[in-house]
Amino acid sequence: MEITSELRGGLLAVTVMDNRIDAAGAIRFKEDMRQIIETPSARVLLDLSNVTFLDSSGLGAVVAVRKLLGEARPLDLAGLTPTVQKVFRLTRMDTVFTIYPVLEDGLKNAS
């Protein structure tokens, strides 16, 4: 899975380049994220704007990454596409995560 990351101040901005996080890619996503978040940062912002499809396995993997980071290091999300947004809304995970419309909004909030 192709994932890019960039440290901006205390914020680690992570962008998923693939267009799906599903049952076939969820474990890989979690493992890749585990390595990426080894870079110390106060917060992590995950840009999902390229992801057009996320199923329950993908959602579980995002939740798992949030748990890996722990309470002290929040995982925020940005750029949810309509089908991904629907999964977050239906499962009410949109009430658990801070979600920004686009990556830039999340970056502004970092400063």
**Binding to other proteins (CB under 8 A): which residues in 3-22?**
20, 22
Residue 15, SS3 per DSSP: strand
DSSP 102: S
99 binding other proteins? (CB under 8 A): no
Total residues found in the chain within this entry? 111
Angle at 19 between CA 73 and CA 23, to 5 degrees: 75
Residue 34 vs 89, nearer CB to other proteins: 89
- Site for other proteins, residues 63 to 92, rule: CB under 8 A: 63-64, 66-67, 82-83, 86-87, 89-92
The terminus-to-terminus CA distance of the chain in angstroms comes to 29
- Confirm if 97 and 103 have CB atoms less than 8 A apart: no
Which residues, 23 to 52, sit near other proteins by CB under 8 A? 23-25, 52
Which chain residues interact with other proteins by CB under 8 A? 20, 22-25, 52-53, 55-57, 59-61, 63-64, 66-67, 82-83, 86-87, 89-93, 95-96
